[in-house]
Amino acid sequence: MARSRSASAAAKPAESAGEQELNRSALLAAAATEFAGHGLRGASLETIARAAGITRAMVYYYFGGREGLYIATLEEAYRGINAAEMALDVERLEPLQAMRKLVEFRIDFYAQNPTFVALVAVENQLEGAYLRQSEVVRDRGTHNLARTRSVLERGQREGAFRKGVDPLDLHQLMVSIGIFNVSNRHTFGLIFGRDLGSESQLARTRRMAAEVVLRYLAP
Amino acid sequence: MARSRSASAAAKPAESAGEQELNRSALLAAAATEFAGHGLRGASLETIARAAGITRAMVYYYFGGREGLYIATLEEAYRGINAAEMALDVERLEPLQAMRKLVEFRIDFYAQNPTFVALVAVENQLEGAYLRQSEVVRDRGTHNLARTRSVLERGQREGAFRKGVDPLDLHQLMVSIGIFNVSNRHTFGLIFGRDLGSESQLARTRRMAAEVVLRYLAP
DNA sequence: GTCTATATATGGATAGAC
DNA sequence: GTCTATCCATATATAGAC
């Protein structure tokens, strides 16, 4: 994870803007792992800096300190997730297939991004205090919800789905299954002997979620 | 939260076993809040001790240190939850009503125990490393799952529920909705403008969950 | 822009007084 | 059983060298 660099390297300015940017993103990458694993207060700036191959002082130089780094990490995480989520297009599928794909995508998506899920858990531990100050937030919700609503309403017009289902209820349902599957996999696995992180279990959860949602929407 | 006690109190032994037990449980109560809010590493022993009205040294005396206190806190939390969950009895209800009650109970239950939900999140952040060592675990899962299975099978025999549903899938579904509703309420609320913590929203989630589960089980 | 050095605080863990 | 005192390690935040 650490970029190789001589331990005894003297003060040596970056030769290019590119290399500076590299330090910044190395810090962000290391910070994501560390904050996700230990929370805002529990994270060690020393560990983050070392993993990024630079010194703690740089955290202050680039981000002003622990909180600044955390906020940047959180926003970066949401930005990356937004971009990936936007890529999914189901407009040309039949409502039933489209909805199934929406569900399955979401289950897989969180499973592939456990660090993001963990960072969201950390931000919830902080009662959303930092996300509250961020503008990256609003767009995110509206786009995902709009897509779900669009598929839902299309299905309702065509008679594939029943009326009277709130799109946000539906979205909440899908996200609940997908997030829990990742965020609580360790305790759930220990208590019930089912490893939610395994490939076979992921397939099982995917199938269960699709069936749940389609039955919830059935006329 | 702190028990009132003169700041300059000299070393004064507890007069009774009861008072010692009081210190121990005061520590556990304070620790639950602090660990739930800041994680294992992020928690401040100083804050915990002060909230309990005693000094940091007592943490070492009673629990041997940070980890010991954390383990005791986690086990205490699970014990309390176990006791409360055991109290629910749905054997004399019709399968449909019984299942509805099972779902609604679970939604309300987590909503009423946010500190427990947060502690579980912390333990997942630690990859279940401490729960793994605890024996309190196994009983817990088996009892809850057994009750769900019992109601499910009863309903299947009577034709109220379809066959081919895995009890653990069903349990996972209910727990997902209930836990997410609490664990991610802050970020969800900020992104979608829906306060999952409010009474009216709790009622909404309760209704949604019941409908989801009963439709999932419908023949 | 990056490092080393430093002050300052806080936490971990124990010893000793009562 | 509880406190105070203390040592040592680690973390925060900044200053100064290059």
CA distance A208 to chain B (A): 7
Q: What is the homologous superfamily of the domain B17-68 according to CATH?
A: Homeodomain-like (1.10.10.60)
Q: What is the mean pLDDT of each run of 10 residues along chain B (219 residues)?
A: 37 59 91 97 94 93 94 94 91 97 97 98 97 83 92 98 98 98 97 96 98 98
Residue ranges of A 31-70 with Cβ closer than 8 A to chain B: 37-42
CATH 1.10.10.60 in chain A, residue ranges: 17-69
pLDDT at A13: 56
* Helix ranges (DSSP H) in chain B: 17-42, 45-52, 56-63, 66-86, 95-112, 114-125, 136-157, 167-183, 185-192, 199-217
pLDDT at A117: 98
pLDDT over 60 at A5, yes or no? no
A19: helix, coil or strand? helix
What confidence tens digit (pLDDT) does each residue in A14-67 have? 556 777 788 899 999 999 999 999 999 999 999 999 999 999 999 999 999 999
Q: Closest Cα partner for A159 from A94, A89, A93?
A: A94
Residue A13 CA to nucleotide D18 C1', Å?
A: 10
Specify the pLDDT at position A55: 93
Per-residue pLDDT, A1: 36
Residue A135: per-residue pLDDT: 83
Task: Determine whether the interchain pair B124/A175 forms a contact, defined as Cβ–Cβ distance below 8 Å.
Answer: no
Residue B63 neighbours by CB under 8 Å, 6+ apart: B27, B69, B72
Cα separation, B177 vs B101, in Å, equals 15
Please report the pLDDT score of residue A100 as a whole number.
98
Domain B88-217: top CATH class: mainly alpha
What's the CA B38/C1' C6 distance, rounded, in angstroms? 29
* CATH architecture designation of domain A17-69: Orthogonal Bundle (1.10)
Q: What is the mean pLDDT of chain A?
A: 91
- Name the segment(s) of chain B with CATH classification 1.10.357.10: 88-217
Q: How many CA atoms lie within 13 A of B215 on its CB side?
A: 19
pLDDT, tens digit (0-9, with 9 covering 90-100), for A144-195: 999 999 999 999 999 999 999 999 999 999 999 999 999 999 999 999 999 9
